[in-house]
Every structure is written in structure tokens, then in C-alpha cells.
Structure 1
Amino acid sequence: MNGSRPAAAISPWWQPDIHADRRPFLLGRARITAAIRAHFAAQDFLEVETPVLQRSPGNEAHLHAFATTRLAPDAASDTLYLRTSPEFACKKLLAAGETRIFELAKVFRNRERGPSHHPEFTMLEWYRAHAPYEALMADCADLLALAARAGGVSMFQFRGVSCDPFQAPERLTLVDAFARYAGFSLEPHLSPAGLEPEVAPFAHAAAQAGIRVAVDDTWADVFSRVLVERIEPHLGHGRPTLLCEYPSSEAALARPKPGDPRVAERFELYACGLELANAFGELTDAEEQRRRFEVEMDEKARLYGERYPLDEDFLSALGQMPPASGAALGLDRLVMLATGARRIEDVLWAPVA
């Protein structure tokens, strides 16, 4: 031996001292998970288990999946993906006749890692058939309070921001959020459902408000930049925020709002500036859903040079799926807020190395 040693590595999570530091957060996670199961059971929801392996992992342009190869006994092969959400399978169960379901699903997202992102995480997803999406807003408020009680906190704290999980959430439309925080109006730049908004006037308005704009930006690029830089940091301060009525072009799986097809029945839940949940009044028009997926995959091919297959089984099921509303909530992020953890890895029993 030459006496040299590799640079010191970060100690693994299974070291007893590190596990002891994380254990209070993990015990909080166990209590919160048990409380969630009891909460849904009390409302006659069924807990379901859907496959992790999927033919299509989802069809959103900026969503990245892990792929794997399936080998048949005759050596034939094809590609399957680890799910990015249990959504397609859950909606097939609605088509089959279930009316209230939830799943605590392990899901997988590639290209994601950070203090509030992990490549494998747990998504709480639930669906109500024949219910308006406003019912999910009430569900979200209940879940925040439930998690706080189970986690033993009276206030959420994250990155210097406080949020009272027991206060009724503020309901804020995107039009109002732009007026309040972005420095220009969104309303003149909305288009009816099915039509792509014009990027040039929107980009010009954003640039005039001091937002960085690139010559090859799409409408969605500009919208996302305004949302991330100007709006999201202000949400969920003092009390939770329900950011709702997204432009229809930014809600590929949501139905248009009755009376105003420029916006969709989509909302996101925020606390302490952190996005916790995404919810829809579900689109059940199979042809329109196909069109939207194809637009998303064209954009994915343009940006990343790949596209995911459409789940034809899912599109067929939409034809008999009842009117419904559904939500997806990041369980790990909720546990972070409800236990005082600062990193998502502190609330995962065994983080990915």
C-alpha cells in the first residue's frame, strides 16, 4: 500500500448515528401515513395498488422516466417504464366502476434530485367519481391539518417561511396571481381551449416586466419562468394557497372550466412556497386527450429527442370513465413540513444512493 486514501465520502444513511438523527422524522412519517389511511378509510375510499411497470410512463413534455427492457421467454423484448404516476391505472379503475380510490404509490422521475426532489418518491393520489374538483380543495385542507397533528407541529416552517396548516387556504386564480406578482396581465394572452396562445405578445409583455425571455421560448416556457420566478415564491405564506384556473394549454389532463374554456379545472396546493399537490377536474374526452398528448410528445421530441408511447388502453378507458376529480400530493414533501425536516432525504427510510 502506498498510504494514500480516497477522499472522505459522505457517511451512508444506515450508519447508526445518522439514522438516529433522522429517526424522529421517520417516526413522524409513519404516524402521518397511518393517519392518511385512516382518513380515507373513514370516507369509504378503497386503497388500491397499481403496477409500477407501465407501457407509457405519462405524456408530459418535461416529465422524464426510467426505462427498462422486458424479455419474453422466446427472447423477444420490448420497453417498459417505471411509472411517473399511478394516474393512468387509477383512471382505468374508475372506468371499471370504482368511485372512491386512493394509492400511496412509489413513483419515479429521472433528472430530479435536490433538497425537495428525489428520483424515487411517494405520491398520494386519490380520485372521486361524480365530484367537483372543489371537493379536492377541501380534501387538501383536511390533509394539511391531519399531517400537522400527526407530525406534532402547529406551524409549518421551511426556508424561513411560515404557514399555518390549520387556516383555510387562500384560493388564488392564475389571472389574479399574475396581476399581484408578475407585473403584467395574463388575461389578454389566454386562448380558448384547443388553441395555442400566441407566444410573441406574451413574451413581449413578460420582457417588459423584467422577465428573461429567449428567442426560441414557447408560450409554455415563458409561463413557467414567470410562475417559478415571480409567483411561486409568494405562495403559501401565512396560510396555504390553492393556485387555480390554469390556462387550458397548461393543463393537458384537465377539463376546461364551464363558461370559460380559456382556463382549466386545475389547481396546485402550496405551503411555505413549496408545491405539494396538483389536482384536476378530469378530462374524459378521449380524442381531445389524444390530441393533447401528441402535442406534448412533439414538444418532448423537439427538446429532448425522445417521445413516449401513448397508452391506448388508457385512451379507450376514458370513453367509459365517469366524470371525476383527482389529485396527486407529494407525501414526502408534506412529511418534511409536518416534521420540520429540511431535506427530502431526511424523511425517506432508505434514500437512493
Structure 2
Amino acid sequence: MTRSSPWWARDVYADRKPFLKARAAITAAARRFFASEGFTEVETAALQVSGGNETHLSAFSTELIAQDGGRSRLYLHTSPEFACKKLLAAGEERIFTLARVFRNRERTALHHPEFTMLEWYRAGAPTLRLYEDCAGLLAVAVRAAGASDLAWRGRVCDPFAEPDIVTVCEAFGAHASIDLEALLGDRDGLAAAAARDGIRVAPDDTWSDIFSKILTEKVESRLGSERPTLLVDYPVSEAALARVNEQDPRFADRFELYVCGVELANGFAELTDPAEQRRRFEAQMAEKSRIYGEVYPIDEDFLASLSAMPPASGVALGFDRLVMLATGAERIEQVLWTPVAEQGTAV
């Protein structure tokens, strides 16, 4: 897809049509899956008072003009998470949404500035229950696509195999030869371990920066081979909205689903302490200011809703990536009905 061959050109569209038909089938199958589990599909507003309060999320901003001419800044949501949790506070117990979300600074074979996030929440359920949801969705997607496996760039994964559950510390030890547990909070120690493994560390990299580099460069590509991987027990510093693990407060009750080396979903037991959530948001925004020179406001309405929110667990899954893996697509644009044009090109 280039300037001379936009996505709507008959030949280009014909090449993409099988992926799009599979997408439609997977969408319908996902809705049936959640209906069978007693979920209600919800729709959340894309315009929000905050672009999200995680360090590396970049939002699109816009301006709301009132009838009296007053102006206020709003953001296209980077996730429907805040709105969904407000619905839990309102009394909903099982909800899901196929939400169009928007993230700036992101465009690769697996990233797009506008994409679909499949999010679902279970009130009163542990994260273990969400593991089952993730496994069930993989099987549903593959069957709907008429495939037998999940694939990405020559790697194949059996969607019907029981997921392999691996802790973050185990993964760092196995794939990066790093004793992460011994280096929790030790920035210089983790930097030295990363350097020994050939990872470039900048002088101003924080512990979290180094952790992310190791995860990205040494660990992620090894996960989800042959069978799905659930990466569990993240260091608490790497889980801004997750509840602390009751057995070991150094870690959070957070997991990620990997298939063929691709991060597919992020789930956790939800933090419901508004004071702790505010502290984490403020720390994240301080880092965002340091790195990017900008911050997003905190959604005070969201913090207020946490006091009324029941214990719950939730998952955010990249729906376009799921379609890619189920159809064998190489680029995310292949599975998007109307891709966003890059500057100076037609896609």
C-alpha cells in the first residue's frame, strides 16, 4: 500500500479481503463467547478528560468548545479502562467492549495509531479466571478464522494447548540469565546485568527503563512458542493500575499473554485504593514530564469511582493482533478495514 496504491484500490483491497472476512467472523465469534459467559457488551466514550496516566502512553488531544465559547482540552482515550471501571462502580459485574482506541507515537507492523481494544472485566473474580478467558478466546478466534494454529513470521503456536504459566523472574533467568528478584530496585545492578547481556543502557535510564529493554530485547521473542505463555507476577513498579500480590508485596497481580513472541493481552487484579492510585499516577506523570516534557491530567472522577468499585479483574487484548495471528497476516494494516494514512502517503 503506497501513494500510488491506496488501501481502497481494487487490487489492494482484494488482497486484504480474506483477512477482513476472517476479522468479521472472529468479531462475531468473540461476541458469542462473551454472551455465553453472561457478559454485557458496553460502549464507552472516546473523549475523556485524561489521556491516561502511564509514562509511555501518548494520546491525541482535541478541544471541546461550549455553547458559551468556553474551551477545555479533551483526549481521545488510549484505553476504555477508566470508563469500564466506572461502570463496575455503577453496579455492572461482567462487561466487555470492542473499543476504538488511539495512541500517538506508535506505528509498526504490530502498532497502529487507531486500533481496536477488546477489554473485559469480571467483578469478584481472580486473575486465574481470566487465564481461562484468554485461552478460550484463542481457540474461538482460530476456529472462526478456519485455521488450525496461530502464526507470526514463521513461528507457530497451538491455540488449543494449555498456556504455559511463567513468572517474570523465571523468564529473566531463563532467557537473559538475570536474577531479577535479587535486583529489584537496584538500578545499577540491573544496568550491569543488562550490559553483560549486550543491552545498551543510557546514563539516565531508570530501573523501569532497563527492565523494559531487557524484556523487549531478550525475553518477549522467546515467549508463546508452540503454546501460549502467560507471563505473571510483574514487579510492582511495572503495574500502575494493578493490585499488589497478597503473598509477596514486591510483585503485582498482573499478567500478560504472549503468542509467537507477540504481546497479545495485559490483565490484572484491579487496584481499588484511590489514594494509592493517585500516588502511582503522580509518579508516572513525573516520569512522563522528565522523558517527554508533557503530562496528562488525572481523572478525578475515576479516582472517586474507585471507592465504589468492587474487587475485580480485567484484561485488555489487542484485537487486531489476535486477528493477525489467527490469519497469518504480516502487518496490522492487512486486518484493518480502513487504515490510517501515514503523512505523505496513502495506505
SS in 2 for 1:246: strand
Partner of 1:109: 103
1:136 equivalent among 130, 140, 150:
130
- Alpha-carbon distance, 1:17 to partner: 1.2
- Alpha-carbon distance, 1:59 to partner: 0.3
Partner of 2:312: 324
Output the CA distance in 2 between the equivalents of 1:108 and 1:214. 29
2:85 equivalent among 66, 91, 94:
91
- Alpha-carbon distance, 1:207 to partner: 2.0
Which letter maps to 1:16? Answer: R
Which letter maps to 1:213? Answer: V
- Alpha-carbon distance, 1:10 to partner: 3.9
Whether the 8 Å contact between 2:151 and 2:327 is mirrored in structure 1 is: no
Pair 1:227-2:215 in alignment = yes
Output the CA distance in 2 between the equivalents of 1:205 and 1:27. 47
Q: Deviations over 1:121-161 (max 9, x none)?
A: 00000000000011111100000000000011111221121
- Alpha-carbon distance, 1:16 to partner: 1.1
Output the CA distance in 2 between the equivalents of 1:85 and 1:184. 32
Return 308-317 or 70-79, whichever deviates more.
70-79
Aligned residues: 340
Output the CA distance in 1 between the equivalents of 2:51 and 2:289. 15
SS in 1 for 2:116: strand
Gaps of 5+ in 1: 1-7, 191-196
Pair 1:314-2:302 in alignment = yes
Which letter maps to 2:217? Answer: E
Partner of 1:33: 27
Output the CA distance in 1 between the equivalents of 2:198 and 2:339. 39
Aligned pairs (5 A) from 1:37-76: 37-76=31-70
Output the CA distance in 1 between the equivalents of 2:22 and 2:154. 21
Which letter maps to 1:129? Answer: A
Partner of 1:279: 267
Pair 1:127-2:121 in alignment = yes
1:183 equivalent among 177, 186, 202:
177
Pair 1:249-2:243 in alignment = no
Q: Deviations over 1:6-53 (max 9, x none)?
A: xx8341111111111111100000000000001101111000001000
Output the CA distance in 1 between the equivalents of 2:273 and 2:330. 41
SS in 2 for 1:257: coil
Output the CA distance in 2 between the equivalents of 1:263 and 1:203. 20
| TM-score calculated relative to the size of structure 1 | 0.95
Q: Deviations over 1:272-325 (max 9, x none)?
A: 101100001111111000000000000000011100000000000001100000
Which letter maps to 1:138? Answer: E
Pair 1:266-2:243 in alignment = no
Which letter maps to 2:186? Answer: E
Pair 1:152-2:146 in alignment = yes
- Alpha-carbon distance, 1:211 to partner: 2.4
Partner of 1:19: 13
Pair 1:304-2:292 in alignment = yes
Output the CA distance in 2 between the equivalents of 1:201 and 1:339. 42
Output the CA distance in 2 between the equivalents of 1:10 and 1:326. 43
1:333 equivalent among 321, 336, 344:
321
Cα RMSD of the aligned pairs, angstroms, is 0.9
Partner of 2:204: 216
- Alpha-carbon distance, 1:201 to partner: 2.0
Output the CA distance in 1 between the equivalents of 2:27 and 2:138. 12
Larger radius of gyration: 1
Partner of 2:3: 9
Partner of 2:168: 174
Output the CA distance in 1 between the equivalents of 2:76 and 2:198. 40
Shift of the 236–10 alpha-carbon distance from structure 1 to 2, 3 Å rule, reads: farther
Q: Deviations over 1:152-174 (max 9, x none)?
A: 11112211211111111100100
Partner of 2:332: 344
SS in 1 for 2:249: strand
Output the CA distance in 1 between the equivalents of 2:302 and 2:186. 31
Output the CA distance in 1 between the equivalents of 2:188 and 2:5. 50
Gaps of 5+ in 2: 342-347
Shift of the 34–252 alpha-carbon distance from structure 1 to 2, 3 Å rule, reads: same
Partner of 1:161: 155
Partner of 2:345: none
